[in-house]
Amino acid sequence: MLEKIKSLSKEYFPDTVKNRHHLHQNPELSFEEKKTSAFVAAELRAIGLTPREGVAGTGVVALVKGENPDSRVIALRADMDALPILEQNEVPYRSQNPGVMHACGHDVHTSSLLTTARILHSISHELEGTIKLIFQPGEEKAPGGASMMIREGVLQQPKVDRIIGQHVAPNIPAGKIGFREGMYMASTDEIYMRVHGKGGHGAAPHMTVDPVVIASNIIVSLQQIISRNRNPSYPSVLTFGKMIAEGATNIIPGEVYIEGTFRCMNEEWRAEGLEKMRKMAEGIADAMGARCEFWIVKGYPFLQNHPELTRRIRRHATEYVGPENIVDLDLWLAGEDFAFYSQITDASFYRLGTRNEARGIVSGVHTPTFDIDEAALEVGPGLMAYMATQEVVS
């Protein structure tokens, strides 16, 4: 089975690259993936599968059924959306949609899973169980396409026993695969504050309630919640990246607007920390004669890789690419809506190396020069197909 899958992944490699180029040239933003969705559905039909379209708006789902389809269901997920970035790469497959770019590798994920589907369908007579293929919209934008697909029953009918996700890794050489058990990626909440004071002349601060000073106190004080209230076992980050005070050198404004992000890896601490921040911000403002509006836009939960499942797929990957091509991943406090799946069923999210320093392919995700060493596209589809074939029988 392993050698057959490797051979098919190599045979289909030119088509994988072709599909990736098409997707890269035609990127669409979150929840706007209409042409992408239609392309995916058409490719699945050409393979011989029957896609279900319109899940969570633009999502697509298909099933590859083995000889005993009711025995176990393994889901494989790829995201399809792009980012609002103007591409700077001078390549033949450069984005033709100005200001929109596949700068996070979702074109890689989608083209890879299409080839995985093709491999699995071609050997379906040798498979057990059912493999559910999830092409998901809107990973880059809250509330996250994963949460919406879950609400529409993507993990049911048939019920998914496990789910596996793949993501590019520009910090890992192409051909290598990264894994981490347990906590891996962070929850992502947005924090917004508006501090209302009383403006006035900069030379007469005693006649004002200075919201700049008060907002500054709030920002500094909130960091103490992370350093003094958090259990050190749970990584957390609190960052404020935007502060608007529309005053001048001699004008104290009437209000200050603040934006930040809170990230952590424990859902109980997430709720507790946010509530402490709200109380502290409001309390400091009140004590200094001002008023603080504090509101939260909840993002994705933290991503937990199921330890046993991760150990198994790591073993499958070792069989597929060799132990010298397996690497350990560090904690990463970025967010990923695959986390919604991990909160419901056994899930594991691994990384596909795409870096090639000799060719200058080193840019990180979410940058206008992000690209991949397409040698990874020969490895990715077959690896995921092999993982799925092993998981439906384990």
pLDDT at position 71: 85
- Same structural domain for residues 141 and 27? yes
Mean pLDDT calculated for residue range 305-320: 98
- Same structural domain for residues 313 and 383? yes
* Domain with 139 in it: 2-185+301-391
pLDDT at position 393: 79
70 is catalytic: no
User: Which pLDDT tens digit goes with each residue over 83-120?
Assistant: 999 999 999 999 999 999 999 999 999 999 999 999 99
pLDDT at position 8: 97
- Same structural domain for residues 129 and 209? no
Question: H or E segment at 157?
Answer: none
User: Distances from the Cα of 129 to the Cαs of 42, 71, 74, 76, in angstroms?
Assistant: 24, 5, 8, 14
- Same structural domain for residues 252 and 305? no
Residues 182/142/352/156 CA torsion (nearest 10 deg): 70
DSSP string, 328-363: EPPPB----TTHHHHTTSEEEEEEEEEEBGGGTB-P
CATH code at position 380: 3.40.630.10
User: Which pLDDT tens digit goes with each residue over 343-382?
Assistant: 999 999 999 999 999 999 999 999 999 999 999 999 999 9
- Same structural domain for residues 139 and 15? yes
Chosen domain end from 297, 329, 352: 297
CB 109 within 8 A of CB 384: no
CB 97 within 8 A of CB 27: yes
Number of domains in the chain: 2
pLDDT at position 37: 98
Chosen domain end from 262, 279, 297: 297
Peptide bond into 158 cis (omega under 30): yes
CATH code at position 257: 3.30.70.360
User: Which pLDDT tens digit goes with each residue over 199-224?
Assistant: 999 999 999 999 999 999 999 999 99
pLDDT at position 228: 94
Confidence of residue 67 (pLDDT cuts 50, 70, 90): confident
User: Distances from the Cα of 27 to the Cαs of 75, 83, 107, in angstroms?
Assistant: 25, 8, 8
pLDDT at position 69: 83
| Mean pLDDT value across the chain | 97
Chosen domain end from 269, 297, 325: 297
- Same structural domain for residues 163 and 84? yes
Catalytic residue among 43, 139, 140, 371: 139
- Same structural domain for residues 285 and 228? yes
User: Which pLDDT tens digit goes with each residue over 145-169?
Assistant: 999 999 999 999 999 999 999 999 9
Q: Report d(CA 28, CA 36) in Å as an integer.
A: 7
237: nearest Cα among 152, 284, 194, 299: 299
- Same structural domain for residues 291 and 328? no
Catalytic residue among 32, 81, 107, 337: 81
- Same structural domain for residues 117 and 215? no
pLDDT at position 140: 97
- Same structural domain for residues 64 and 173? yes
Does the reported pTM lie above 0.95?
no
- Same structural domain for residues 270 and 308? no
255 is catalytic: no
- Same structural domain for residues 201 and 250? yes
Question: H or E segment at 391?
Answer: helix 376-391
pLDDT at position 154: 98
DSSP state of 198: B
Residue with tokens 């970035």: 85
SS3 for 278? helix
Mean pLDDT calculated for residue range 257-276: 97
